[in-house]
Amino acid sequence: MILHVDMDAFFASIEQAINPRLKGKPLIVGSRGNKMHTVVCAASYAAKALGIHSGMASREAFARCPDLEFVEADQAKYIWTSEQIYELLKGFNLPLNYASIDEFQMDLTGCQDLISLGKEVKKQIYANFNITASVGIAKNWLLAKMASKINKPDGLTLINDKNFETILRQTSLDKLCGMGGKTGANFIASGLKTCWDLYLNLPAFFDQNPGKFDENPGKFDENSGKSSEKPKSVSHSYTLPKVQINPQVIQAWIRLLSEMVATRLRDKNLVSQTVHLWLNGPEIGNFGAQKTYQTQTNDGYEIYQKALKIMANSNLKNPRIRAIGVTCSSLSWSTSQPLLSEEIRREGLIRALDRINNRFGEGSIYPAITSFTR
């Protein structure tokens, strides 16, 4: 059995835990300082109840709720909290997978009282961080992730043989991991409305490698169990607070963006062969270069090193940089379990974030916008 931890409105909840005045209020976290000209990175549940959601233009969010609270995103704070939650979960001494910044999975093989364990996970997270998590428990990664979404926020759902059919009948297909894009639209157009409809037609989708981390939920076709739908590229970009010439700061940003791209690749079980670096500055305008390698990777440090080599071979001499972007393309499905970040690499990323915040002041880091092109 797999236990999936999904933090509730993670970025917004962290801000509310730090500032009790924001508790229970409609709140958005924005990716830029100007609250009327940004994109919603996260929304509290009070804001979600008003129809506000991630990806929405902040101007539209404020139109729905003029009294909306706004907080500028602080990526360093969110990464640090995520790392601390991961360290907390390691204390359960069970196989642990760092799935994304706000999701974690534990292998419960050999565990007996699953509900009590799920309650204890939630209890310890709340006691240590004053934020809630929703937990799903099921026979595999896909179903556990689905279960974690059912009773949000602060939920706990176990899918077993007794309630398997009932839950799948009650869950619309678009709520299933991997069914939010063209694949899901095609199935819905063919008449499949619920997860139970999909199970009756393609039961193998729900039965891959029960209890293992290395399954690939949401990636299948009718023959092999893997989806033909995948993004052409995954990228992160960021416009700096001001034009920057310090190479250490520029490299720290490339490192951060590389790690963020790698996180999304691993979250989707993808690997990349091509790394593209994009730079913008007053003298160089838009500069872009890429290189395709024989080996595939979804490791942030490797992507970072390749991006640095691209920059070193560009003949750019101490350019003034205003914006940076890192893109990975030539994507393939990974055939191995997504790698956990090694301790030294996580610590290196935090140090890079700290250097930037120490230079520009706390809160100078914001989540870059993720781009999936098809």
Look at residue 299 in the predicted model and tell me its pLDDT.
87
Which part of the chain has CATH 3.40.1170.60? Answer: 8-74
Residue 23 has pLDDT above 60, yes or no: yes
Looking at mean pLDDT, say which of 113-117, 175-179, 214-218 comes out highest.
113-117
Distances 330 to 58, 162, 371 between C-alpha atoms, Å: 33, 43, 15
Which residues neighbour 22 within 8 Å (Cβ) at sequence distance 6 or greater?
15, 16, 44, 69, 71
Where in the chain is CATH 3.30.1490.100?
Answer: 233-373
Q: Identify whether 103 is a catalytic site residue.
A: yes
Q: Is the dihedral of CA 145, 151, 139, 204 positive or negative?
A: negative
Judged against a pLDDT cut of 50, whether residue 223 lies above it is answered with: no
Cβ(281)–Cβ(320) under 8 Å?
Answer: yes
pLDDT tops 60 at residue 192 = yes
Q: What's this model's pTM, rounded to 2 decimal places? A: 0.60
What CATH class is the domain 233-373?
Answer: alpha beta
Candidate from 203-217, 222-236, 290-304, 341-355 with smallest mean pLDDT: 341-355
Asked if residue 27 has pLDDT above 60, the reply is yes
- pLDDT of residue 349 exceeding 70, the answer is no
The CATH code belonging to domain 8-74 is 3.40.1170.60
> How far is residue 299's CA from residue 255's CA, in Å, rounded to a whole number?
11
For 144-175, how does the pLDDT look when each residue is reduced to its tens digit (9 = 90+)? 999 999 999 999 999 999 999 999 999 888 77
- Beta-bridge partners for 100: 103
Asked if the peptide bond before residue 153 counts as cis, ω within 30 degrees of 0, the response is yes
* CA dist., res. 268 & res. 229, Å (int): 11
The three-point CA angle 42-44-47 to 5° equals 105
CA gap 51, 62 in Å, rounded: 11
Whether the predicted pLDDT of 191 surpasses 60: yes
Query: For 2-6+77-206, which CATH superfamily applies?
Result: Reverse transcriptase/Diguanylate cyclase domain (3.30.70.270)
Using 50, 70 and 90 to split pLDDT, how confident is the model at 222? very low
Q: Name, in order, each residue with C-beta under 8 angstroms of 263's C-beta and a sequence gap of 6 or more.
A: 100, 101, 300
User: For the chain, what's the residue count?
Assistant: 374
Marked catalytic residue, from 15, 72, 103, 259 = 103
Determine the pLDDT at residue 115: 95
Vertex 77: Cα angle to 7 and 42 (nearest 5)? 50
Per residue in 144-168, is it b (16+ CB within 10 Å) or e — as a string? bbbbbbbebbebbbbbeeeebeebb
Whole-number average pLDDT of the chain: 80
* pLDDT score recorded for residue 175: 79
| Beta carbons of 298 and 266 less than 8 angstroms apart | yes
Least confident of 137-141, 182-186, 198-202, 367-371: 367-371
The yes-or-no verdict on residue 360 having pLDDT over 80 is no
The confidence score (pLDDT) of residue 187 equals 77
Q: Is it the case that residue 236 has pLDDT exceeding 50?
A: yes
pLDDT digits (tens, 9 = 90+) for 94-149: 988 877 778 899 999 889 899 999 999 999 999 999 999 999 999 988 899 999 99
Q: What is the mean pLDDT of residues 314-334?
A: 88
The number of C-alpha atoms within 13 Å of 306 and in the hemisphere containing its C-beta is 28
What integer is the mean pLDDT of 11-19?
93
- Give the integer Cα–Cα distance in Å for 121 and 134: 10
The boundaries of every CATH 3.30.70.270 domain in the chain are 2-6+77-206
